Amino acid sequence: MSLIDFDGNPVTVPDNGFYGQCANVDSYKKLNRIGEGTYGIVYRARERKTKKTVALKRMRVDSNANNTVKSLPLASFREITLLKRLRHPNIVNILDIVVGNRLENIFMVMEFCECDLGTLLDNMKTPFSQAEIKSIMEQLFCGLKYCHANHVVHRDLKLPNMLLTASGELKIADFGLARLFHVPKRPMTPQVATLWYRAPELILGSKEYSASIDLWSAGCIFGELLIHQPFMPGKSEQDQLRLIAKMIGAPNERIWSGYSRLPLASTIQFPENR
């Protein structure tokens, strides 16, 4: 198994290292499949020894054309690394890494949450109450404050990546796109965050950003909870910018210092503010 670090460089793992000490996945009984994302399939499972219910996420493993060289995708490696260092009540907790009998069978064991906010909102007949929205947003901001204090920007906040336990505790999940950010800022790709939750500076091509993009996503989530439907559901990046301008006005240098220096600012024509 070959691994890569945050910059895409190979990492040598000794035979008795992290993966050599992992338990076997057979110590958990899979109960049912509960989700699938870009980087893996998630199961509800029960630990055979303790009878504790957990979430078991099978990591996608890449291989070459000859199916001989296997490696964890960079996003999966980042997610494991970051979740093992982040410990907060409002961030999903990684409990263990377990492996199967084949090289490509690698699983993250995480605390189990009954549902995600996206699925819950889709199936609710009545909107959240103001008190419920206040509780959700307070917990979201507590988790974000901890992430940002530890120089982690999530970069993909949206309702499906926010989990709820049976007791109403919110957990921020899916850190596959998360990165450590630095002061002063270092360039990062602007192609992150689902379009409806993407900050305007990302759409306009900025490669120097940090915690502010998570706060924009949180604002879109707040609006979605209030109106019980997507807040700004753009069909394209141009349409998303149009919806943003309609909501808060067209950007310009007077209200957004440095706007004119954004890579794509000169290519976008907004209607004049009224």
Check residue 109 and give left, alpha or beta (phi > 0: left; psi -120 to 50: alpha): beta
Contact 190, 207 (CB under 8 A): yes
* Helix-then-strand count for the chain, H and E: 6, 15
Catalytic residue among 116, 156, 174, 214: 156
How far is residue 100's CA from residue 251's CA, in Å, rounded to a whole number?
Answer: 52
- In the chain, % helix, strand, coil (3-state, to 5) comes to 30, 20, 45
> How buried is 148 (Cβ within 10 angstroms: 0-12 exposed, 13-18 middle, 19+ buried)?
middle
Q: Collapsing DSSP states into helix, strand and coil, what is residue 37? A: strand
Structure token pair of residue 73: 């995708």
Contact 92, 147 (CB under 8 A): no
Q: Is 156 a catalytic residue?
A: yes
Q: Is 52 annotated as a binding residue?
A: no
How far is residue 206's CA from residue 204's CA, in Å, rounded to a whole number?
Answer: 6
Q: Collapsing DSSP states into helix, strand and coil, what is residue 34? A: strand
| Terminal CA-CA length for the chain | 59
Q: Which residues are annotated as a binding site for ATP?
A: 57
The set of catalytic residues is 156
